[in-house]
Amino acid sequence: MNLITRIELTDRTDAELAALFTLLSREFAQAEPGSLEWHGGMISLDNIRREQAKRRPVIGPQPRGPGF
């Protein structure tokens, strides 16, 4: 399992990120805990999650009218 950096993920579409996350999750589940593969998978999955979160719009509280 190769380490995937945040820079490598910037050119991917949202669908590609989701597919990559699923693929890496399956590989990660089969890696030996504590191994180099396991640590690389953990970092890669975290990088994908961070890239997905960066692309999500932030929705703040909606202003309420008088009396609410």
- Could you read off the pLDDT of 2-59 as tens digits, one per residue? 899 999 999 999 999 999 999 999 999 999 999 999 999 999 999 999 999 999 988 8
pLDDT band for position 67 (cuts 50, 70, 90): low
Q: What is the DSSP string of 3-68?
A: ---HHHHTTS-HHHHHHHHHHHHHHHHHSPTTSHHHHHHHHHHHHHHHHHHHHSPP--PPP--TT-
- pLDDT, greater one: 1 or 51: 51
pLDDT of residue 24: 94
- The pLDDT value recorded for residue 25 is 95
